[in-house]
Each structure stands twice: as structure tokens, then as C-alpha cells.
Homo-oligomer: A and B are copies of this chain.
Amino acid sequence: MPEMDLPGSAAVGLSRRLYLSFKQRILSGELSQGDVLPSTRELAKALGVSRNTVCAAYDMLWTEGYILNHPGAPSRVAPDLTLTPRDRSPTPQALPQPVLCPWDFHTGQPDLSLFPWSLWSHMLRDAAATLSVQAFAYGSPKGYEPLCVEIAHWLLRSRGMEVAPESVFITSGATQAFHLLVPMLHRPGCAFALEDPSHPGIRATVADRGFPLLWLPVDGQGADVSALHGQAVSAVYATPSHQFPLGGILSATRRTALVRMATEQNFYILEDDYDSEYRYIGAPVTPMHALAPERVIYVGTFSKTLFPALRIGFAILPEALRERWLHDRMYADVQNPVLEQAALAAFLRTRGVDRHLRTMRRTYSEKRKALLSALYTAFGEEALALGDASGLHMTLHFPGKHFGAPFAQACREAGVRIDSVSVYAARPQDYAGYLLLGYGHLTPAQIYDGIAALRICVATAALAE
């Protein structure tokens, strides 16, 4: 009996190590078809282990077909098992580490420090204690029904939207809604119309599928929908309450024109209402959905109002799409986890969401004022703030400026993270003088200091050009 080098770490039992050793020798060709294995008694003695250990290893080899057993005959290696030695894969590289950015104006980050974490923990505990055991089995791909009901109530009291709980479909964030809807709405030969500029997520979702894109230019009234005339369109993606990133509100004239075209040209409108809860002057803008509930798919999310890692959003679906949605969600990932859905239903029912939003509206409004004041101090009339007084970001226009490589370099060196709007645009050159500032996650002090740092970057870049 040759010496056996048993592979595997100590965490693996002796039987398994023995099994692995034989398997390696069989696969490498060291032991080949018909070779006789030592009897369990012999091997146990040779290795100084119990016979049960060896029997268990042989049993594993036999179960998986590496060896053949015949009553009264020794175990033999099964036929046709040799693999050519495979190349070991190179050591995986470490994932890239985020760069240190003391002044981070990246968008889409709510302020999580003011979220009522202990109240939320209480909601989770309550949900865990009161849900039936059966609720933790597979549920409906539509979502946890009490949450659908609470979202319908909340949409009415927060935005005046009247929707039936039957039309509310829970998603894993707004991202998943678009991921499911884009292939669902695609019609061969037809384009998806997106605002230019717009969020890169929806662009990637359409482009990854290989579907054609049609760009709608954006001005102070939102997207110019007249570009849709005579076009073959699968769907129009729009942010009517707060255009991302330029901040305008889609005018009523364009809303009605868009709905009229959707009916006449037979396409759907994807209404992305990503942050209309945060409007600092006047009431929230009313969603387009009410104009044509059978043509408009309204998509909302709790990522900005509560926190992103909750992964709960929703789509308000016309009846014609519901059956297909249930099928597609079933084979995408079945459903959201039930616990957070139940906790969120209770958080809405007890008006915890409403109270949190009131607090945050005040807080973000203060931050926005700090940002405007810091910008005026730093840039005076040189920079114009665009868009409605709402949301967690602001777009700045520096007329005549062009933020190119020297500016990017200056920001990297100063630790300022900021995007030019050109990153979001189909024609980047049109937006080379526009910057995008996310400020929701920053304190007023960070905003002042960050804008001062930004001013230096702008000045440095101007000198370098």
C-alpha cells in the first residue's frame, strides 16, 4: 500500500479526506479502470484508522460511481474517469477599493443618520412575532398583500393618487421594476424613448437587451415629447415630477400631449417617481398616473425615503400587464423577503413613514438652503442652480464653462467626488458646463467645506486650460 497524502484541511472529516484522495488519484489517471482497491480491512490497518472510516469513504466513492462493488469481489475503479490535469485558476484579485473622498457629492444617497432605527427594529420584531409560520413559505410574486393595501392608502394621502391595492406590485427597488418592464413592453422594431439627459440605469437596462433608444431633449418644461411624433415606440421613460438630473417638472401641456400620443400610438409611459416626496415649496407634484391609469405605469421606491438596503419599491400596473408580470417575477426571483414587507406595512399603517418624511423634508430643505448659500459665496453669478426646489440633488449650470479632464484631475486630487451632467447625456458635449450635486447625505458643514473645495477645483482647472 503506497503512502497516502490526504488532501483537504482539518475541517473535513477523515472519511472525506480519504475519499478525496482516491478521487484525485482516479481522476488524474494514477488509478485507472479496473484497478483493485485495497480491502477496507487492509486499508484501515495500514492507515491506523477505524474500519468504519474507510467504509464511509468507499461508500462515497461507490455512491458517486468512482468505484464498482460486486458481492464477494474487491472494489475496482469504474471505467472512463480520467481527466486531463486542469490549470489552476490564478489567485482572484481583490475587489477594487473605493477611493477616499472627503467631499462626496454623488447622487442618490439619503441621510441615514436621522432614520428612526430603533422604531424600525421594533417594527421588524413585531413583524417577526406576529407573522404566521406559513408566511415564511413561498408567497405570491405580487407581494405581501397588507403592504399593497398600505401603499395604496399612502399614495392617496401623500400624493392624492387613487389606486386599488390590486394594482400595486411590490418590487426589489425601482431598479427591478424597470428590469422586468423593459422586456415586457418591448415590441420588435420599436424604440424606448428616454429623456436626454437621464439616469444611466434605465439606459443600461434597455441597451443591455439590445433594444433601440430614442432621445427626448429636456428643457425647463421637462422632456420635449414632440420628438415622439411619427416614431415607433415601445415605451417612454419619464421623470415628470422631478426630471433627473435637470430638476424640471413636466408641464401639463406636455403631459396631456404625451398621454394622447400613448393612446394613439399605442405605447406605455413609465413614470419614475424617485423622490417627489421631498418638495420644499408647495405640495408634492401630482403624478401623471391619474391622467391615464391604463397607459401609465407608476414606479416608486422606498430607497430614498427609508434606506436603500431595504430593497422595497413598487409598480402600479395596468390590468393588461399583471398576468405577464406575475409570470416574469416568478422566474426572476419569486418575491421579496416577507419580513421587511410586513414591517414596512406596519410602519406605513402607524404613520411612521409620514412622520419620518416630515422630519426629512425639513432637514433636506435646510441642507438645500446651505448649499445655495455656499454656492452663492463660492461662485456668485457664475453658476445657476436649475430645477424645482425638491429632491436630494441639484444641477448647476456654469455658462461658457467646459468641465473636462483637467477638472476631473483636480477633483481627484482634492478628494471631491462630483459628476458632470455630460455623463448622463446622449450628447455629452451639450452638458459639459453642467455639474450634478447630491447633497442629501451631507451635513451643512460638509456642504460648505465641499463647495469651497469645489471652487478651488474649478479655479485650478481654469488655470490648466
Residues of A bordering B, CB below 8 Å: 8-9, 11-12, 15-16, 19-20, 23, 26-27, 56, 59-60, 63-66, 78-84, 86-87, 89-90, 92, 94-95, 108-109, 112-113, 115, 117, 120-121, 124-125, 128-129, 133-140, 142, 153, 156-157, 160, 162, 164, 166-167, 171-173, 175-176, 179, 201, 204-205, 208, 221, 249-257, 259-260, 263, 282-283, 285-286, 291-294, 303, 307-311, 318-319, 327-328, 330-340, 388
Assembled-state Cα–Cα distance A260/B81 (Å): 10
B109 close to A137 (CB less than 8 A): yes
Contact A221 B65, CB 8 Å, known A81-B253, A308-B137: yes
A337 close to B334 (CB less than 8 A): no
B117 close to A12 (CB less than 8 A): no
A292 close to B86 (CB less than 8 A): yes
Say which residue of B9, B136, B166 sits within 8 Å of A307 (CB atoms). Answer: B136
Chain B residues, Cβ within 8 Å of A94: 166
B318 close to A89 (CB less than 8 A): yes
B65 close to A252 (CB less than 8 A): yes
Assembled-state Cα–Cα distance A14/B338 (Å): 36
B140 close to A64 (CB less than 8 A): no
B208 close to A328 (CB less than 8 A): yes
Chain B residues, Cβ within 8 Å of A334: 172-173, 175, 308, 311
Total identical chains? 2
Chain B residues, Cβ within 8 Å of A309: 135-139, 335, 337-339
Assembled-state Cα–Cα distance A138/B308 (Å): 5
A–B Cβ pairs within 8 angstroms, 14 of them: A16-B283, A63-B249, A65-B250, A86-B263, A109-B138, A115-B133, A121-B129, A125-B125, A139-B309, A172-B333, A175-B333, A205-B331, A208-B328, A208-B331
A331 close to B175 (CB less than 8 A): yes
Chain B residues, Cβ within 8 Å of A162: 8-9
B64 close to A331 (CB less than 8 A): no
Assembled-state Cα–Cα distance A457/B161 (Å): 51
B160 close to A16 (CB less than 8 A): yes
Contact A253 B337, CB 8 Å, known A92-B319, A113-B133, A137-B109: no
B133 close to A124 (CB less than 8 A): no
Assembled-state Cα–Cα distance A257/B83 (Å): 9
Assembled-state Cα–Cα distance A80/B334 (Å): 44
What distance in Å separates the Cβ of A80 from its nearest Cβ neighbour in chain B? Answer: 5
A175 close to B137 (CB less than 8 A): no
Chain B residues, Cβ within 8 Å of A171: 333
- Most central of A90, A171, A205, A255 by chain B CB within 10 Å: A255
What distance in Å separates the Cβ of A87 from its nearest Cβ neighbour in chain B? Answer: 8
Closest to A142 in B: B95
Contact A82 B335, CB 8 Å, known A95-B140, A282-B60, A283-B15: no
Chain B residues, Cβ within 8 Å of A11: 153, 156-157
What distance in Å separates the Cβ of A203 from its nearest Cβ neighbour in chain B? Answer: 10
B133 close to A112 (CB less than 8 A): yes
Chain B residues, Cβ within 8 Å of A257: 80
Chain B residues, Cβ within 8 Å of A252: 26, 64-66, 78, 81
